A = this chain, B = another copy of it.
Amino acid sequence: MLDKSHKHLSCSNCESRKLSLFGDFCEKDIHELDDDKSCAYYKKNQPIFIEGSNPRGVYCLNQGKVKVFTRGDEGKEQIIHIAKAGEIIGFRAMFSGEPYKVSASTLEECNICFIGKEDFLTMIDSNPSLRNGIMRELSKELGDRAIFITNLAQKTVRERLAFALLILGEIYGNEPINLTREDMANFIGTATETLIRLLKEFKEEGLIAIHTRKLDIIDKESLILIAGK
């Protein structure tokens, strides 16, 4: 599944593509995409792009997970989003005309394909369905962030943790949730120590199971109740 070389990964049989915004591409589009892009293997904790720099293209996540974050005044990360295979990252900056406002780096080993700005914008111009997909994606994220904001402003850390675990559950699917305590704390917007104490509580209440660094959700229903709306 994961390819540690930097050899070209074909789009035509890419399982991740089928779930992505490129999912309904025709043969011709796929080959064009294949010609335009380049592929790379990323180690764990490797930066993909950095806040403040200028975007040169978009990244298509073939394999692995990526955190998207900003840094506050004192350099502390706030994780805005965790992307999984099939997601395209960095396209926001393609349209805003601004430098990146967020950074992205890998949470695990990843295979990531890169599509240059020119190629990507050309693709969008000539492909209304892709364009609509992008607009739908931008819009959905905008809605999600409104909820994220409200949660941060109004929910307790305990509620936010339950909420975050449910989201992480979706992202990780069958696999156990696998994040450092610090990353998880930076996702729900709290101190690492507070997160650890709450995880312990959740474990004692039978909501989750902890296997060293990996978490499993045991009682999803209760988490939903705690998380609230």
| Residue ranges of A at the interface with B (Cβ–Cβ < 8 Å) | 70-74, 76, 78, 80, 92-98, 101-102, 125, 128, 131-132, 134-136, 138-143, 145-155, 189-190, 228-229
Say yes or no: B97 contacts A136, CB within 8 Å.
Answer: yes
Say yes or no: A155 contacts B73, CB within 8 Å.
Answer: yes
Residues of B within 8 A of A94 (CB): 139
Q: Which 7 A-B pairs have the closest CB atoms?
A: A153-B189, A96-B139, A72-B154, A101-B143, A78-B150, A145-B145, A95-B139
| Copies of this chain held together in the complex | 2
17 residue pairs from A and B, CB less than 8 Å apart: A70-B146, A70-B147, A70-B150, A72-B150, A72-B154, A95-B132, A95-B136, A95-B138, A96-B136, A96-B139, A97-B136, A98-B143, A135-B135, A141-B142, A152-B152, A152-B153, A154-B189
Q: Which residue of the partner chain, among B101, B142, B148, contacts A147 with CB atoms under 8 Å?
A: B101
Q: Which residue of the partner chain, among B72, B128, B146, B154, contacts A153 with CB atoms under 8 Å?
A: B72
Residues of B within 8 A of A152 (CB): 149, 152-153, 189
The residue in chain B whose Cβ has the minimal distance to the Cβ of A97 is: B136
Given A92-B142, A146-B70: A78 in contact with B154 (beta carbons within 8 A): yes
In the bound assembly, the distance between CA atoms of A94 and B136 in angstroms comes to 9
In the bound assembly, the distance between CA atoms of A150 and B71 in angstroms comes to 7
Say yes or no: B189 contacts A139, CB within 8 Å.
Answer: no
In the bound assembly, the distance between CA atoms of A228 and B207 in angstroms comes to 39
In the bound assembly, the distance between CA atoms of A135 and B97 in angstroms comes to 10
Say yes or no: B95 contacts A146, CB within 8 Å.
Answer: no
Say yes or no: B149 contacts A142, CB within 8 Å.
Answer: no
In the bound assembly, the distance between CA atoms of A98 and B152 in angstroms comes to 23
A125 to chain B, nearest CB (A): 8
7 other A-B residue contacts (CB within 8 Å) besides A78-B149, A149-B189: A70-B150, A74-B154, A78-B154, A80-B146, A94-B139, A134-B135, A135-B135
In the bound assembly, the distance between CA atoms of A164 and B176 in angstroms comes to 39
The residue in chain B whose Cβ has the minimal distance to the Cβ of A227 is: B73
The residue in chain B whose Cβ has the minimal distance to the Cβ of A142 is: B92
The residue in chain B whose Cβ has the minimal distance to the Cβ of A99 is: B143
In the bound assembly, the distance between CA atoms of A149 and B96 in angstroms comes to 19
Say yes or no: A143 contacts B96, CB within 8 Å.
Answer: yes
